Each structure stands twice: as structure tokens, then as C-alpha cells.
Amino acid sequence: MKIDIISVVPDLLTSPFSHSIMKRAADKGLLQVNIINLRQYTTYARAQVDDYQFGGGAGMVLMMEPLVNAVEALQQQTSYDEVIYLTPDGETFNQPMANQLSLKNNLLMICGHYKGIDQRFRDHFVTKEISIGDYVLSGGELAAAVLTDAIGRLIPGVLNDESSALTDSFQDNLLAPPVYTRPENFRGWTIPNVLKSGNHQLIDQWRYEQALERTKTRRPDLLDE
């Protein structure tokens, strides 16, 4: 999969994909992330990409020309399955959306800034608008990083243990059960005996009960779905 990300602050996106699972995905050739600086595509002086909004009001708006120049130049090279605009008024991102997007070949993400981007770009170029939650970020970059991570780790072959994505929280509308590692006794705090039983049927059942209990107390809304 290839994910191209257009940003006016590309420095924000230099390191998130160079570590851990995202790095492994890149090293295996399963995920390629390219950061594109919107300022490279402006025709205005001093690399201007934004301007005041018609009708007045505080805050700048990303202009049509640089955005359209960038997208049309990239579309010469790549056929995108989705052109995603990261925006607080988009559809709230969740695990089913991550699962769906992980099946695509090429994604283009547009990071807004300031007051956002010209509505005509949203109307004519964007195919999907996504938010990562009900709070406001300074720009779409961190949201694009969140999407890229959540999607990238689901690409087949990225995770070592394929089953580990299947047992994530949310994958079956249940939160993940508690986990323990060595030592078995730390300051008198021991681990549940069942985990040492060697009986995998019993262990699976215990984990399921714990997941259900956790979901009931922390996220009962997930069980209504």
C-alpha cells in the first residue's frame, strides 16, 4: 500500500513512520508513506498557500490552486482509491474504517490547517472526510499519522503474529483482556492461576470473560452495537 500525505507542516510527519511496526511495514515493502509539502505546488509569491476567507472572519483558508496542483500532479503518478481530508467535522474514525481502508492500494490524505481548506476542494476532489475524535487539533497531521498507523498495522504481513490484530481491542467490539509477563510474583502481586494452567480452552474462556467484564464496566456502549 502507498499512502501519500499532503501537508503545509511536513516536518510534523518526518518521524512517526520510522519506528516499530510502521518501520517494519516499510522495510518489508508493505507500506510506503510519502510526505508532500503543499508549498511546492503554489504559484503564488513567497510560497503562499492560504488566504483570508471571503465574508470576513478570523483564520486563514488553504487555497484551491496549490491543493489542486498538488493532487493533479500526484494523480498523474498514482490512481488513488480514496482522497481523504482530515477534519474535525468528518466521520469519526474507528476500527471498522481502519479495516476497510487497510484493503486499499493507494490513499491520499490532505491535512488542513488554520480554518481549513476551500469548500470547493472538498466538493470536487475529496472522497472521504475523517475526524479522529471530538476535540480540535491544530492541523490534520497528527490525525493523518493516527490513520496511517491504525491502517498500516492491518496490512497482511505487517504484524508478525497475524492473530494479534484479530485479538485487539475493538476488533470484535470488546476491549482486550488484561495481560501479564514475568515475574510471576512481583512484591507479592501474583498473576491469575488460570494463566499457568496450560489449559488453553480454559485460558481462552477466562480471557473472553475478562474482556466482556472490562467492556461492560468501561465501554458499555460497545455492547449495544
Q: Is 45 in the site for ligand 6GU (CB under 6 A)?
A: no
Residue 206 Cβ, how far from ligand 6GU at the closest point, in Å? 36
Per CB under 6 A, contacts with ligand 6GU among 96-135 are 131-133, 135
Q: Is 88 in the site for ligand 6GU (CB under 6 A)?
A: yes
Q: Is 16 in the site for ligand 6GU (CB under 6 A)?
A: no
Check whether 112 is labelled as a binding-site residue: yes
Cell of 8: 503545509
Check whether 136 is labelled as a binding-site residue: yes
Per CB under 6 A, contacts with ligand 6GU among 168-187 are none
Check whether 50 is labelled as a binding-site residue: no
One of 143, 158, 174, 211 touching ligand 6GU (CB under 6 A): 143
Q: Is 67 in the site for ligand 6GU (CB under 6 A)?
A: no
- Tell me which stretch binds ligand 6GU (CB under 6 A): 28-36, 82-90, 95-103, 217-225: 82-90
Query: Following DSSP, what letter does each residue of the chain receive, concatenated?
Result: -EEEEEES-GGGGSSTTSSHHHHHHHHTTS-EEEEEEGGGG--SGGG--EEEPTT--SSEEE-HHHHHHHHHHHHHH---SEEEEEEEEEEEP-HHHHHHHTT-SEEEEEE-BTT-B-HHHHHHT-SEEEESSSS--SBSHHHHHHHHHHHHTTSTTSSSSTHHHHTSTTTTSSPPPP---S-SEETTEE--GGGGS--HHHHHHHHHHHHHHHHHHH-HHHHH-
Q: With respect to ligand 6GU, which residue has the nearer C-beta, 91 or 184?
A: 91
Residue 8 Cβ, how far from ligand 6GU at the closest point, in Å? 12
Contacting positions for ligand 6GU (CB under 6 A): 86-88, 131-133, 135-137, 139-140, 143
Annotated binding site for S-adenosyl-L-methionine: 112, 132-137
